[in-house]
């Protein structure tokens, strides 16, 4: 009698445990899986943007503007501009720069903007559009 009572108690306990596991498995298999994927890839986060860039930008009243700009990892820059065909020395400045919200364009002191790409930067116009002409590109020195 004690043995029969014990076996029925044990069977009830095991069945109760199976129902709990089964209910948990049903919850896992019937619950929709939601995965949020955030694509945060932009120039700021995925390119090796820091370094020295060099080029000659167009100039309305000179032969061009020879530009050297070093972008540093701490979001500062050092810039040298020389107006070709004019008397004078290179203009040198150093200051912090800021990234736009999209993480693809920097703004330096005075409001000049550059779109940052793989080993090159393009001058950006007053409307925020990248100037695609070859004359508006400065390239990273390797």
Per-residue pLDDT of the chain (142 residues; tens, 9 = 90+): 444 444 444 444 444 444 444 444 444 445 455 544 445 678 888 889 999 999 999 999 999 999 999 999 999 999 999 999 998 889 999 999 999 999 999 999 999 999 999 999 999 998 889 998 888 999 999 8
Query: CATH fold of 43-140, please?
Result: Lipocalin (2.40.128)
Beta strand residue intervals within the chain, DSSP E: 51-57, 64-71, 76-84, 91-96, 98-99, 105-107, 113-117, 120-124, 137-140
Exposure class string for 54-91: b at 16+ Cβ within 10 A, else e: ebebeeeeeeebbbbbbbeeeeebebbbbbeeeeeeee
Model pLDDT, residue 142: 82
Structure tokens at 71: 């972008």
Model pLDDT, residue 57: 94
- How far apart are alpha carbons 126 and 45 in whole angstroms? 25
Every domain of the chain and the residues it spans: 1-35, 43-140
Structure tokens at 76: 């500062």
């Amino acid at each position: 009698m004690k043995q029969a009572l014990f076996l029925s108690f044990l069977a009830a306990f095991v069945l109760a445990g199976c129902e709990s596991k089964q209910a948990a498995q049903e919850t896992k298999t019937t619950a929709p899986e939601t995965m949020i994927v955030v694509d945060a890839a932009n120039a700021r986060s995925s390119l090796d943007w820091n370094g020295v860039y060099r080029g000659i930008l167009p100039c309305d009243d000179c032969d061009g503007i020879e530009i050297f700009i070093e972008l540093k990892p701490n979001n500062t820059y050092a810039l040298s501009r020389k107006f070709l065909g004019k008397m004078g020395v290179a203009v040198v400045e150093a200051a912090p720069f800021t990234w736009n919200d999209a993480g693809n364009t920097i703004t330096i002191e005075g409001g000049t903007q550059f779109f940052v790409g793989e080993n090159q930067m393009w001058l950006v116009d007053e409307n925020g559009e990248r100037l695609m002409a070859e004359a508006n590109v400065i390239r990273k020195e390797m």
